[in-house]
Amino acid sequence: MTLDIQTILVVLLANVIGTAVALPVLMGWRVSRAARAFQGAAVAQAVGWTAFLVAPRIGDRWVSTLSMACLAASFVLLWTALDTWLGKRRGHRLMLALAVAVPAGYGLGFASYPFRVGWSNAGFALQLALLCFALASPAPHASRRWRGLVLLCLLALAVVTLWRGVLGAFFTEAYPFYRATHPVNVAAALLYHVALALSTIGFLVAWREEAERELRVQASTDGLTGLLNRQAFAGRAGDVIAAAQRYREPLALLMIDIDHFKRINDTRGHAAGDEALRTVARALKASARRGDLVSRHGGEEFCVLMTHAGMAEAAAFDRRLRERLAREPDGAPGLSAGAATLLPDDTLDQLVHRADQALYRAKAEGRGRLVHAA
Ligand SMILES: Nc1nc2c(ncn2[C@@H]2O[C@H](COP(=O)(O)OP(=O)(O)OP(=O)(O)O)[C@@H](O)[C@H]2O)c(=O)[nH]1
């Protein structure tokens, strides 16, 4: 059986264009930044391949150069998607530099066949290697399966691309034009088919994983302030309390309530009330240490569970919080707070109840203060 490279390339083009059109149709337009970058990469590939395959017919150096620019840009877009899905990746500048250098060198050195083939393929191989590096670098939140699949596809493409570049640059006599039926051309085109299908599946799984992560975050946070919601707080606080009791470590809980919050709503409107809640939430987050749990307990009440902390640390937190709010340029509401420390047999509810009683006393004693539970 002989494989006709012309036919493979036409089918490949149909495949690439079909993928570029199908992705936004299936995924929708209103997707995350990473998913949009992935869709953009598919479009850039489709435009790049179309230009690449029609260029020799028009005999146009600039159409070929445009195709190089599109293909190089598609790798940048894939890198951007990975940078979001996997967490900050290294190599961004090099990726961008290659996306400029590949088409620029190709266009300027177009007259020399060995140079342009060697240059562009070496550049693409390097971009693919950078994508592989991004996939292989640690990413604790992402599944290894889709990363492994995409990594395998891109690594194989990098090897074939480099192989093609070396042949074109240094063994030009033995390596004919990419549309001639040559083993490396057939292998590259077939591999591209498989890699396109498998890596598209891999990227779609990455997108689903992102959506699941987003849902988990939404389910555990308060929409207005971005703090933990009451339910998520209770789940995590239970573990923190159990650990503190096992290792006999001190733990403090602060219940904080905005003073006369109803007045803010009534006099300045609901939007001003919401802004006051966000201001307090920001100050709480900024005043907390790593490991402390900060939640919106409901309405205008907040809760902070401080690890390795007793009454002195709770008082220091309260002071830091008030100082921070006093520095707010647009002013900030007053707060009342109640603090309680963990007893050996406490449950979360008992701890919260004591802090709540202290908060109640703070309100009764005139507001704007911290009261420690007895
Ligand atoms: N803007 C806004 N208001 C809220 C939100 N949740 C609860 N509230 C309002 O918060 C107000 C709480 O009022 P109160 O419980 O009387 O408390 P307060 O006015 O702060 O009085 P003290 O706690 O005694 O100082 C109510 O008017 C609620 O409608 C919210 O998400 N946004």
Does ligand 1 come within 6 angstroms of the Cβ of 299?
Answer: yes
Helix (H) and strand (E) counts for the chain? 12, 5
The predicted-structure confidence for 269-283, as pLDDT tens digits, reads as follows 999 999 999 999 999
What would the two tokens of residue 329 be?
A: 């340029």
Task: Please choose from 262, 274, 335 the residue to mutate so as to test ligand 1's pocket, defined by most ligand atoms within 8 A of CB.
Answer: 262
CA of 326 to the centre of ligand 1 (A): 21
Does ligand 1 come within 6 angstroms of the Cβ of 259?
Answer: yes
User: Which pTM value belongs to this model?
Assistant: 0.76
CA–CA separation, 47 and 71 (whole Å): 8
Per-10-residue mean pLDDT of the chain, 374 residues long, equals 84 96 94 96 97 85 95 98 95 97 96 94 98 96 95 96 92 80 86 95 96 93 96 95 95 97 94 96 95 94 96 96 94 95 94 97 96 92
Per-residue pLDDT at 1: 65
CA–CA separation, 7 and 186 (whole Å): 10
Ligand 1 atom showing the smallest separation from residue 266 Cα:
27
Task: Please choose from 261, 278, 367 the residue to mutate so as to test ligand 1's pocket, defined by most ligand atoms within 8 A of CB.
Answer: 261
Does ligand 1 come within 6 angstroms of the Cβ of 300?
Answer: yes
Per-residue pLDDT at 182: 83
Does ligand 1 come within 6 angstroms of the Cβ of 260?
Answer: yes
CA–CA separation, 245 and 213 (whole Å): 31
- What stretches of the chain adopt beta strand conformation (E)? 251-258, 293-298, 301-307, 335-341, 370-372
Per-residue pLDDT at 252: 97
Does ligand 1 come within 6 angstroms of the Cβ of 278?
Answer: no
Per-residue pLDDT at 106: 96
CA of 279 to the centre of ligand 1 (A): 15
Does ligand 1 come within 6 angstroms of the Cβ of 262?
Answer: yes
Q: Which domains does the chain have, with CATH numbers?
A: 5-218 (1.20.1070), 230-372 (3.30.70.270)
